[in-house]
Amino acid sequence: MMEQHQRANPGGSTVLSVESFDLSHYLDQQPGGWEVQANQLKRTAFSSRIRILRLPGLFVYQNVWGGTCVVQGQSPEGWLMLGGIVNPDKAPVSWCGASADRRHFACAAAGQEVDFWVKNDCSSIVVLLAPSLLNQTVGEAACDAITQS
């Protein structure tokens, strides 16, 4: 079961809000095409929501996880990923073996192997950025140095 709302805005941006009660469906709603598998660690009802702002070459979205989960797989091909945790005191996150919080961001180059766990009610903000957009801003050499890491 899910509830979905979408709104198109002037300038080509779209805002989408999805509430989901199924972990597999929730993962399918993540922008950019994450290739991940997730396991919910407790046998409780799953209820999560995601709000997505989509612009050409950029996604900004907020995840509110409705269950404690372990996630493994690959970050989206064709996107650089940066993420921060809104409520680390309430719901800490382990990102590729290190803590992610308000000062230590999660990051991944396109198609990079990732593993993380999130606690129930974890709220995160994620930015997916097309390397071509970054290239326009910082130049090819700087973009290559970041995307090849």
Sheet holding 69-74, edge to edge: 35-40, 69-74, 113-118, 93-95, 98-100
Measured CA distances, 108 to 24, 75, 80, 149 (Å): 22, 7, 6, 9
Query: What's the confidence (pLDDT) of residue 44?
Result: 85
The pair of structure tokens assigned to 63 is 């995840």
Block means of pLDDT (10 residues each) for the chain, 149 residues, are 67 85 88 91 88 92 91 92 89 88 86 91 92 85 73
Residue with tokens 């290559």: 144
Query: What's the confidence (pLDDT) of residue 1?
Result: 52
Query: What's the confidence (pLDDT) of residue 89?
Result: 87
- The rounded distance, in Å, linking the Cα atoms of 78 and 149 is 14
**pTM, to two decimals:** 0.84
